[in-house]
């Protein structure tokens, strides 16, 4: 099990990294990737604490969660590319309906694949947690997502204020 002081330090570090990266200018793609990795790490650390995972559970769960998360990122990337392609087709107004239908079908298939990855993770977690941990996992998932949304919104507000202040100084 991770020591409490190490856990708290790591948790604070990841949280501050997310906030700082969300507020810094730079390559948007690289920033998003680092933010996504930091959020995933934060989720794993907080989940370990919230569910009181044993070392054995942690050793079993982390690799599967990492694999599924990477697969989901790839799927989300593909969805983004297909959405950009669809938007471009719609702007051109010369695209054939069959082409549009094909892209829409691809996006729907990718979204279904994304849902299946979530189901795969849920099923895996179901088989590796105690009843109490399963209940805690459900609560944790909702609270983590809600807290993350609130944190990112605060980070955006900080970034927007900094940008406005920077513009005023020019």
Contacts 24+ apart (CB under 8 A), 130-133: 133/51, 133/52, 133/53
Is residue 149 domain-shared with residue 82, that is, in the same domain?
no
Is residue 79 domain-shared with residue 58, that is, in the same domain?
yes
pLDDT score recorded for residue 117: 97
Higher pLDDT, 117 or 18: 117
- Give the structural domain span for 111: 54-129
pLDDT score recorded for residue 27: 63
pLDDT score recorded for residue 39: 86
User: What percent of the chain clears pLDDT 70, i.e. is strictly above it?
Assistant: 82
Hunting for tokens 């948007």 — which residue is that?
28
At residue 15 the predicted structure's pLDDT band, cuts being 50, 70 and 90, is low
As given in the structure block, the two tokens for residue 37 are: 């990795």
Higher pLDDT, 59 or 93: 59
Number of domains in the chain: 2
pLDDT tens string 34-77:
888 888 888 999 999 999 999 999 999 999 999 999 999 899 99
Nearest to 8 by CA among 52, 45, 47, 57: 45
Do residues 18 and 38 make contact, with C-beta atoms less than 8 angstroms apart?
yes
Residues 6+ apart with CB under 8 A from 163: none
Is residue 166 domain-shared with residue 143, that is, in the same domain?
yes
| Beta strand segments in 10-168, E | none
pLDDT score recorded for residue 165: 82
Is residue 62 domain-shared with residue 31, that is, in the same domain?
no
Is residue 141 domain-shared with residue 167, that is, in the same domain?
yes
Over the chain, what is the mean pLDDT?
Answer: 84
Evaluate the CA torsion angle 91, 95, 97, 99 in order and state its sign.
Answer: negative
Is residue 109 domain-shared with residue 64, that is, in the same domain?
yes
């Amino acid at each position: 099990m991770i020591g409490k002081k190490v856990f708290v330090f790591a948790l604070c570090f990841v949280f501050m990294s997310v906030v700082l990266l969300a507020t810094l200018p730079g390559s948007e793609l690289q920033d998003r990737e680092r933010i996504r990795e930091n959020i995933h790490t934060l989720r794993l650390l907080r989940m370990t604490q919230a569910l009181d995972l044993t070392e054995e559970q942690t050793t079993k769960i982390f690799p599967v969660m990492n694999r599924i998360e990477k697969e989901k990122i790839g799927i989300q990337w593909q969805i983004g590319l297909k959405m950009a392609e669809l938007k471009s087709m719609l702007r051109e107004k010369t695209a054939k309906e069959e082409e549009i239908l094909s892209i829409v079908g691809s996006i729907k298939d990718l979204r279904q694949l994304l849902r299946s990855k979530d189901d795969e993770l849920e099923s895996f977690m179901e088989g590796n947690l105690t009843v109490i941990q399963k209940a805690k996992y459900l609560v944790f998932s909702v609270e983590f997502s809600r807290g993350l949304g609130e944190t990112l919104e605060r980070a955006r507000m900080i970034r927007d204020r900094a940008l406005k202040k920077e513009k005023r100084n020019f």
